[in-house]
Amino acid sequence: MNDLAFFLRLFKPHSLWLVGGVMLALITAFATITLLTLSGWFISASAIAGLGGDVLLFNFMLPAAQIRALAITRTLGRYGERLATHEATFRVLTEIRVWFFAQLIPLALGRLSEARSGDLLSHMTADIDALDALYLRLLAPAIVAALGVTAVTVFLYAYDPFISFTTGCLLLIASVAVPWLFNQLGRDGAENVVTLAASLRLRQLELLQGMTDLLANQAYARFAQRFIKNSERLIETEADNNRLTALSSALTLLLSQLALLVAVILVGLAYQHDELSGANIAIVIFCVLAAFELVQPLPQAMQMLAKTQTAAQRVRHLATLTPTIQMASQTSALPNRYDLRLDGVSFRYSEQSNWVLKNLSLTMPQGTKIGIIGASGSGKTTLLQLLTRHYDPEHGVVLLGNTPINQLNHDKLLSCFGVLSQRSQLFAASIKENLLIAKPHATVNELKLAINFAGLTEFIARLPEGMNTWVGESGVKVSGGEARRIALARLHLKNAPILLLDEPTEGLDEQTEREVLGALAGFAKNKTLIMVTHRTVGLELVDVVYGMEQGFLVKTFINSLN
């Protein structure tokens, strides 16, 4: 329950909508009960007046008008309640999503790389959507039921204390004992729905993203079979939950009929002792019958409480992970020069893992051009991530100018770096929108210069929609070389003083590779350049080459490539 209580704090900004929804739900519930009760009394009283010959003395107009008013109130109340509760729910979900994304921002640099994209997608969609039940299906119905049951019990007490007591007890069983029972019975199923649904989305994403490789390796059928089995398990679990829901509704209906039977017997006895009139009998009977509408939603809501709890736990667990870096409360201004220095830097990803970097010390004055070569997994990319502060070193310090980078504003620090790697992300947008990521307010002339620099002019000219051409999800509609050129144009637009190149020509054909390196050579002339690679291609851009071996840097001059 702590996880649910944690999210209740996010409800506060929308408390007026939440309270308004509950008030309208109460008005609707009371209008429903009063409408049925008054209608029963009106019909009975009319019949008795007719049998007794007092038709002329009976006031037909007032109760008829009250019934019409209640019917209108019930209709408008139901509409207003749905409008207010759903508006409140959507606003709360928006609040939770905004909060969740705000919590993810500090995690994006290092921590989120440890999570699977399908799992993150499930957190951001299904898990947060499941939290709508917290107010809409649990809090609001529970408040309405608590106040309504109390009001009905007090109302019946005025006619017969024993009927009030027995009806109140049965309503209490239907609103507390039955929901508790089905919460226990449905806990495992509700939790399994969340985990199975998340697993299903993950497998679906893997099938879609890896379909080409699966087909090429004749493994699609095996993966599809796992997906089908997962889907079948989810369907079976949901079917079990639906059976419990039907059973809970049947049990609540049984209690309502039992309460009605007891009320009929008791009002009959009271009538024999002249304690209740004929018309008042109808009031009691119809009030008892209508009262159970108050508790009808509770068993199903409590049955699925475990689903909401599990979703809340998953979302909260991810959002409250410790970031890999701690932002400084007070930051220093950027230095005037962009000299980089590593002083005794050591780093490992966890206390249980091996050291990736060991006591590195390296000075890179502004304008320095160095290459770092080493096998995959030797720590080259990790070094770049320390410079951009995806992680902080466990020992030592990284300085920009003479200022430790952990004392700089992180956004301003990142403005100093332009990054080009083999995994430069293209978004499901147009070429122009992908370029504007680097500089949102770039002019048309700046865009043309960047496009020309990256060698995209002819390519874009051939496209019917030019820069407004859609590149597809992850750039699927452009080739690998074209995607790298778009990333290169983005690098030109940002025009940062320090360039970090992480295997920038990996996977490119020889001609595209030469063109990309040629563009970079001119662009990096007055900039600091750090290139990491496992090949010698491209090292002609740098003055000094370091070899990365077992976490250490070994300096090597390669004059033949200069």
pLDDT of residue 55: 56
Nearest to 505 by CA among 561, 446, 421: 421
Q: What percent of the chain is modeled with pLDDT above 90?
A: 21
Nearest to 393 by CA among 404, 378, 402, 401: 404
Contact 555, 384 (CB under 8 A): no
Q: Is pLDDT of 507 > 90?
A: no
Which residues on neighbouring strands pair with residue 399, listed in sequence order? 341, 404
**What confidence tier does 558 reach under pLDDT thresholds 50, 70, 90?**
low
**Mean pLDDT to the nearest integer, 425-449:** 89
**Mean pLDDT to the nearest integer, 161-176:** 91
**Mean pLDDT to the nearest integer, 64-89:** 91
How many alpha carbons lie under 13 Å from residue 543 in its C-beta half-sphere? 10
**Three-state secondary structure along 186-224?**
HHHHHHHHHHHHHHHHHHHHHHHHCHHHHHHCCCHHHHH
**Mean pLDDT to the nearest integer, 410-433:** 86
pLDDT of residue 69: 92
pLDDT of residue 341: 92
pLDDT digits (tens, 9 = 90+) for 530-546: 998 887 787 888 888 88
**What confidence tier does 301 reach under pLDDT thresholds 50, 70, 90?**
confident
Tokens of 147: 């106040």
- State the DSSP code for 184: H
Class of domain 2-319: mainly alpha
**CATH-assigned architecture of domain 340-561:** 3-Layer(aba) Sandwich (3.40)
**Mean pLDDT to the nearest integer, 103-132:** 72
pLDDT of residue 422: 75
- Report the distance separating Cα 496 and Cα 371, nearest Å: 18
Q: Is pLDDT of 196 > 70?
A: yes
Q: Spell 370-406 as b/e; 16+ CB within 10 A means b.
A: bbbbbeeebbbbbbbbbbbbbbbbeebbbbbbebbbb
pLDDT of residue 72: 94
pLDDT of residue 307: 79
Q: Is pLDDT of 173 > 90?
A: yes
pLDDT of residue 561: 46
Contact 370, 530 (CB under 8 A): yes
List the domain boundaries for the chain. Answer: 2-319, 340-561
pLDDT digits (tens, 9 = 90+) for 74-85: 999 999 999 998
Q: Is pLDDT of 117 > 70?
A: no
pLDDT of residue 105: 76
**What confidence tier does 559 reach under pLDDT thresholds 50, 70, 90?**
very low
From residue 8, how far is each of 4, 92, 95, 236 by CA, in Å? 6, 9, 11, 32
From residue 390, how far is each of 110, 183, 310, 370 by CA, in Å? 5, 43, 30, 21
pLDDT digits (tens, 9 = 90+) for 508-534: 778 878 888 888 888 888 889 999 888
**Mean pLDDT to the nearest integer, 450-462:** 88
| pLDDT top residue among 53 and 88 | 88
Nearest to 126 by CA among 205, 227, 198: 198
Q: Is pLDDT of 58 > 80?
A: no
Segment holding 347, helix H or strand E: strand 340-347
Q: Is pLDDT of 200 > 90?
A: no
pLDDT of residue 199: 81
Phi, then psi, of 375 in degrees rounded to 5? -70, 160
- Report the distance separating Cα 496 and Cα 124, nearest Å: 33
- The answer, as to whether pTM is greater than 0.85, is no
- Report the distance separating Cα 150 and Cα 140, nearest Å: 16
